[in-house]
Structure 1
Amino acid sequence: MSRNKSEWPAKVMALIQGGNVAAAIAQIKVAPTVGDITRLQTLAARLPPTPAHIQLHKVLEEERAMLAAPRLHRSP
């Protein structure tokens, strides 16, 4: 039986679409995995380029880079 993908990206995207970008950024800072960040980046790529969304893209990229570093992976 294969494991379902995390629901985290969809839930954070719902925060963004609801206009709560600050809460979404807080969630991104505690993202479970690099894969979750990558899936959220894919979803967020469809957003219009507002100043808040541009900041969101920067945070996503920074967090993805930090989680990709082996020493910073969180234990399960």
Structure 2
Amino acid sequence: MAPRSPRPDKVIALLRAGNPAGAIAQIKVAPGVRELKALEKALAAAQLAGKWRDVDVAITESLQALSAPRLHRSP
């Protein structure tokens, strides 16, 4: 089993600190779908889902971009 990514915790810390622009920047450079799904779950667990509309849009757009078969980031 792969180790847990620290990225969701970092993004949530940015949001709680009042820096949604920094959180969106971190979301856009997410290495994969797994990290974004973990972020969605972490936001829901922290009851922060839906609080920042721009953050939700960034997550959705990044998930769509990374899920497309011909659009992926090389390692």
Instruction: Pick the TM interval, shorter chain.
Output: 0.7 to 0.9
- Cα drift, residue 35 of structure 1: 0.7
Whole-angstrom distance in 2 between the partners of 1:69 and 1:49: 24
Deviations 1:4-38 (Å, cap 9, x if unpaired)? 12111111111111111000101111111101011
TM-score by structure 2 length? Answer: 0.83
TM-score by structure 1 length? Answer: 0.82
Unmatched tracts of structure 2, length 5 or more: none
1:70 corresponds to which residue?
A: 69
Structure 1 runs of 4+ aligned residues shifted over 6 Å read none
- Residues 3, 69 of structure 1: CA spacing in aligned structure 2 closer, same or farther, 3 A cutoff? same
Kindly indicate whether the alpha-carbon contact (under 8 Å) linking 2:49 and 2:56 is maintained by their aligned counterparts in 1. no
1:15 corresponds to which residue?
A: 14
- Residues 41, 48 of structure 1: CA spacing in aligned structure 2 closer, same or farther, 3 A cutoff? closer
Q: Superposition RMSD on alpha carbons, in Å?
A: 1.6
- Cα drift, residue 48 of structure 1: 6.4
